[in-house]
Amino acid sequence: MARKTLIGEEALVERLSATFRDVGYEGASLALLSEATGLKKASLYHRFPGGKEQMGMEVLQDAGRWLTAHVLEPLAGEGSPRARIAAMTRELDGFYRGGEQACLLNLLSSPIGGSGPFKAAIRQMFEAFVDALAGVVAEAGFPASVARDRAERGVALIQGSLVLARGLGSTEPFRKALDALPGDMLAGAGECA
Amino acid sequence: MARKTLIGEEALVERLSATFRDVGYEGASLALLSEATGLKKASLYHRFPGGKEQMGMEVLQDAGRWLTAHVLEPLAGEGSPRARIAAMTRELDGFYRGGEQACLLNLLSSPIGGSGPFKAAIRQMFEAFVDALAGVVAEAGFPASVARDRAERGVALIQGSLVLARGLGSTEPFRKALDALPGDMLAGAGECA
DNA sequence: GTCTATAGGAAGATAGAC
DNA sequence: GTCTATCTTCCTATAGAC
């Protein structure tokens, strides 16, 4: 009863995600998505009756599940704050392929005033990420407002270093940002400078 | 001899830039650009025979001139390092409209391996920005390698806070990042924590 | 310098055979 | 579940009048 589907659900979403992250949502034509997945356009519509927008949503939901499993839960889990943040950076390094792959949340975003189809999902993921990171920083002994500010800065650093890496054509800014992140988040917790 | 052009060159490029920054390069159709500028498509082609790609290039060059005049030169100019960085944040706050407008350099970027038409110009602007910021930090007494790392982090913070602001639908992360930037860049120069 | 009108092609999406 | 073939709409770009 096998061999009817040419590509598994996981691999399919994976390829779609990689394409969106490479060329953006608008830049990802069905021709391109078809080439990337090995499925003809009509086959893509069979799997995603809602068309490109549904592909975007499912890719985003998949990223949300990844975020929960590989970032949010570890951040809320066992170990010292520093160890948990360091573990998170390792996961992010893999997810972004050392900085080569851009972030969906950046490439699917809509203007601040606007209301694209992905806005709510993206916002939710950013908020969850900031909250989880702020939780760890607070656990290290910082007041809640400081923890929140630091967490926002941490997420901004990750996103911004990906943007910079893309702009400069080098993954170095991303790798450096990840390396420095635990120190950035916990500076002043025991030592100074 | 006036009144032939319905919109001046400066205003024209300004509107095109705003549109690209709102919906991205691929998302900016000629219909949209026409609506934003008040010029019909044929008129846009009269001003930009190279079509949308030329519009993107000229908008990018205009941003480069703005960067030189309002960021690079002030950073290399008079005043204390802290004052110069603070002056830069005020300029950036205006340019990004307090975080409401995204960054061209982000929205026109191509994948790390790829080679879009804007790649060289974008790379050059990011490098010039990082260099100028690193120069100020070095002037404040930090070793060149530390200054470079801090400057990269500063640019990443600006870019990332814009991404985060867009994702959260609030300009707050951007404004906070700007406020903290002088302290971030010069921490340890005299005081600690 | 701006416009209306239109060419020519690529986009998203669907029908129906296998 | 996948395909070829097709439809319609939108896109970039051009022609030519004013």
Binned at pLDDT 50, 70 and 90, residue B76 comes out as: very high
Tell whether A111 lies on the interface with B, counting CB pairs under 8 A. yes
What was the pLDDT predicted at B31?
A: 98
Q: Would you call B77 helix, strand, or coil by DSSP?
A: coil
Given a cut of 90, whether residue A192 has pLDDT beyond it is: no
Specify the DSSP class assigned to residue B70: I
Q: What are phi and psi of B28, to 5 degrees?
A: -85, 95
Q: pLDDT tens digit string along A16-70?
A: 999 999 999 999 999 999 999 999 999 999 999 999 999 999 999 999 999 999 9
What number is the average pLDDT over the span B98-122? Answer: 96
For chain B, percent of residues with pLDDT exceeding 70? 96
Given a cut of 70, whether residue B45 has pLDDT beyond it is: yes
The superfamily CATH assigns to domain A53-191 is: Tetracycline Repressor, domain 2 (1.10.357.10)
Contact by Cβ (8 Å): A153, A184: yes
Q: What are phi and psi of B79, to 5 degrees?
A: 95, 170
Mean pLDDT of chain B: 96
What was the pLDDT predicted at A191?
A: 54
Q: Considering only CA atoms, which of B93, B86, B90, B98 is closest in space to residue B140? A: B86
Which of B102, B159, B188 shows the shortest C-beta gap to A164? B159
The domain segmentation of chain B, as residue ranges, is 53-191
Given a cut of 80, whether residue A189 has pLDDT beyond it is: no
Which of A26, A110, A170 shows the shortest C-beta gap to B26? A26
**Strand C bases, protein C-beta under 7 A:** 1-6, 10-16
Q: pLDDT tens digit string along A1-18?
A: 435 899 999 999 999 999
What number is the average pLDDT over the span A158-187? Answer: 98
For chain A, percent of residues with pLDDT exceeding 90? 95
Q: Considering only CA atoms, which of A56, A167, A190 is closest in space to residue B67? A: A167
Q: How many degrees, rounded to 5, is the angle at CA B141 between CA B140 and CA B142?
A: 105
Q: Looking at beta carbons, which residues of chain A come within 8 Å of B168?
A: 123, 126-127
Question: Mutate which of B30, B60, B109, B176 to test chain A, going by most A C-beta atoms within 10 A?
Answer: B109
Binned at pLDDT 50, 70 and 90, residue B190 comes out as: low
Rounded CA-CA distance B105/A47 in Å is 35
Contact by Cβ (8 Å): B182, B86: yes
SS3 of A54-102: HHHHHHHHHHHHHHHHHHHHHHCCCCCHHHHHHHHHHHHHHHCHHHCCC
- Residues lining strand D at under 7 Å (Cβ) are A 4-7, 38-43, 46-47; B 28-32, 41-42, 45, 49, 51-53
Given a cut of 60, whether residue B14 has pLDDT beyond it is: yes
Let me know if A63 is exposed, middle or buried by CB neighbors in 10 A (0-12, 13-18, 19+): buried
Contact by Cβ (8 Å): B136, B114: no
Structure tokens at A182: 């635990």
Binned at pLDDT 50, 70 and 90, residue B140 comes out as: very high
Which ranges of chain B would DSSP assign to H, the alpha helix? Answer: 9-27, 30-37, 41-47, 51-67, 73-75, 81-95, 104-107, 119-139, 144-168, 172-186
Given a cut of 90, whether residue A90 has pLDDT beyond it is: yes
What number is the average pLDDT over the span B47-58? Answer: 98
Tell whether A163 lies on the interface with B, counting CB pairs under 8 A. yes
What number is the average pLDDT over the span B177-184? Answer: 98
For chain B, percent of residues with pLDDT exceeding 90? 95
Which of A111, A127, A157 shows the shortest C-beta gap to B160? A157
Q: Would you call B25 helix, strand, or coil by DSSP?
A: helix
Q: Looking at beta carbons, which residues of chain A come within 8 Å of B161?
A: 152, 156, 160
Instruction: Give residue A33's identity as a one-letter amino acid code.
Output: L
Which residue has its C-alpha nearest to nucleotide C16's C1'?
A42
Residue of B nearest to A102 (CA): B111
Between residues B3 and A141, the one the model is more confident about: A141
What was the pLDDT predicted at B189?
A: 77
Rounded CA-CA distance B193/B187 in Å is 7
What number is the average pLDDT over the span A158-177? Answer: 98
Q: Considering only CA atoms, which of A150, B171, B96 is closest in space to residue B88? A: B96
